[in-house]
Amino acid sequence: MKKETGALPKAALLTHVDGSYGNVVDAAKVGKICREYGVPFLLNTAYSSGRMPVDGKKLNADFITCSGHKSWAAGGGNVGILAVTEEYKRVLAPSGKYASKPLEILGCSSRGSATVALMASFPHVKERIKRWDEEVERARWLASELEKTGVNQLGEAPKNHDLAFYTSDALYKISETHKKKRFFLYEELKERGIVGIKAGLTKQFKLSTYGKTRAQVEHIAGAFKEIIANHLNV
């Protein structure tokens, strides 16, 4: 950018884990480059902090944003977390008229039950991220089992995250002749106690195994195998 415009960017923004494929990027490397050039580095951790270990210092981040409802266990509501290094805490300068009001927060900040839920989730979140290696192992195992049925995981492989994006010609083929068309997969999974995949998706869909036990992940794998075998007679 400096070569093209003659100036460095005001800041760099990077998404730690994308919300479709679950690819984990090398944030520390990007942060290191930003430090070398003196460019503030903002890391979006909507799909990482709260479910996996995130160390802002190790990632060379100046700002970290966290989504309360995506990965933090705070449920719904307009709530999140912003972490700022000491060097950049000036961005939270208070209003001269209202000392408790940061100037850059337009309108009203988060309040009520969503904020209380976020605060209450801290002890649970602190413990569950210690089991991140187990979460990744289960996601990798499921991906390997589904590939045996022709349901293929796209993106980073082997997985380093619980969220995965899959594609399946077999399931799409079934949907073309099934009486429920492309909604058949959702209905059959639901009959087996499995929810999460959006209704109407067969050829491409994403799913997460976060928080599931090994037995539950095995049940998911078995359900896909059974559905495909029943309809394709394989």
Query: What percent of the chain lies above the pLDDT cut of 90?
Result: 76
Overall average pLDDT of the 137-146 stretch: 97
Alpha carbon distances (Å) from 184 to 146, 170, 216, 231 = 18, 13, 21, 11
Do residues 34 and 64 lie in contact, with contact meaning Cβ atoms separated by under 8 Å? no
Each residue of 178-218: pLDDT tens digit? 999 999 999 999 999 999 899 999 999 999 999 999 999 99
Q: The tokens 């293929």 sit on which residue?
A: 152
Counting residues of the chain whose pLDDT is more than 70, the rounded percentage is: 97
Confidence check: pLDDT of 234 > 50: no
H helices of 70-213, in order, are: 113-128, 132-147, 169-177, 184-191
- What mean pLDDT is predicted for residues 141-151? 96
The radius of gyration of the chain's CA atoms, rounded to the nearest angstrom, is 22
Residues pairing with 52 in the sheet:
49
List the domains of the chain with CATH numbers. 2-111 (3.40.640.10), 131-232 (3.90.1150.10)
Classified as helix, coil or strand, 105 is coil
Measure the CA–CA gap between 2 and 141, rounded to whole angstroms: 44
* Residues 14-65 pLDDT 10s: 999 999 999 999 999 999 999 999 999 999 999 999 999 999 999 999 999 9
Task: For residues 132-152, give the mean pLDDT.
Answer: 97
Q: Of 46 and 101, which is predicted with more confidence?
A: 46
Of 79-88, 140-149, 159-168, the one with minimum mean pLDDT is: 79-88
Q: How far apart are CA 217 and CA 162, in angstroms?
A: 11
What pLDDT is recorded for position 10?
A: 95
- Residue indicated by tokens 């939270």: 92
Q: Which two tokens stand for residue 20?
A: 């479709």
Mean pLDDT of 102-131: 85
Both tokens of 10, joined, read: 């005001």
